[in-house]
Chain A
């Protein structure tokens, strides 16, 4: 639980600091590889400052739920069992 809370705080700080850099460096358009299918920019490059920053920390909760499902499967199918592995 502590880990969870610290992760949350870390994430909150990350976005508040990101927002600041965003306003300060709007003219600074760094081109990098586009690994994100959700951006509309042409494949191969996108502007760092306009992507992903909209995401809130709770968007990561969907990965938490997939992880929970995955963990249940690992235990229930005895994949992690000493006797099976």
Chain B
């Protein structure tokens, strides 16, 4: 049983579970699924200045922070108690490509060869972790939602802006992974 749980879950299991989160939240509390909006709520709590963007009743959105803290705890539980003892399975051709950039460690969900404290202070690590994180945060607020918000909640409520955003996430991802990431990994 525990082996069954610790192996990586299939896309058709995960997809259904992720999709069912939307109706679950709607049914138990009439809440709209969202993750990145929690950043705005935290800012609205902490920023004392009268910035119009933060002038709203954030106390009503506290459920969202509980949800996001829950996701963090879920990640901790899955990583510590349910983690897959084997290496991550990826295509052999990708393995050959990545080995060319010095990525050979597949024990973790992120490649420990480039995601570590030492490389944080190199140009490559700074671009991948700090600049990348900033761009994700900036784009998320600029687009009014993150990948989850648009692709999970937006698409399930048939919103055209979310469909455009999701298509652009994919286009951006293809461009980044195929054209720009090789340049960064070669630094």
Shortest C-beta distance, B135 to chain A (Å), equals 14
- The verdict on A7 contacting chain B, using a C-beta distance below 8 Å, is yes
- Which A residues touch B167, using CB under 8 A? none
- Which B residues touch A78, using CB under 8 A? 8, 88, 109
Docked-complex contact A63 and B29, CB < 8 angstroms: yes
List B residues 44-103 near A (Cβ within 8 Å): 45, 59-60, 62-79, 82-83, 88, 90, 94
Give complex CA distance A63, B30 in Å.
Answer: 12
- Which A residues touch B71, using CB under 8 A? 67-68, 70-71, 74
Interface size on A, residues (CB 8 A): 37
- Which of A10, A14, A52, A72 contacts B77 (CB under 8 A)? A72
- Which B residues touch A3, using CB under 8 A? 69
Docked-complex contact A77 and B10, CB < 8 angstroms: yes
- Which B residues touch A81, using CB under 8 A? 88, 109-110
List B residues 13-30 near A (Cβ within 8 Å): 13-14, 17-18, 21, 24-25, 28-30
Main secondary structure of the interface of B (DSSP, over half): helix
Docked-complex contact B115 and A4, CB < 8 angstroms: no
List A residues 37-85 near B (Cβ within 8 Å): 37-38, 52, 59-83, 85
Docked-complex contact A72 and B109, CB < 8 angstroms: no
Known: A70-B74, A76-B5, A76-B14. 18 other contacts (CB 8 A): A60-B66, A62-B28, A63-B64, A66-B25, A67-B67, A67-B72, A69-B70, A71-B72, A74-B74, A75-B75, A75-B79, A77-B9, A79-B18, A80-B75, A81-B109, A82-B115, A83-B106, A83-B109
- Which A residues touch B31, using CB under 8 A? 63
Give complex CA distance A58, B40 in Å.
Answer: 22
Residue of B nearest to A17 (CB): B59
- Which B residues touch A35, using CB under 8 A? 30
Docked-complex contact B70 and A76, CB < 8 angstroms: no
- Which of A10, A72, A83 contacts B78 (CB under 8 A)? A72
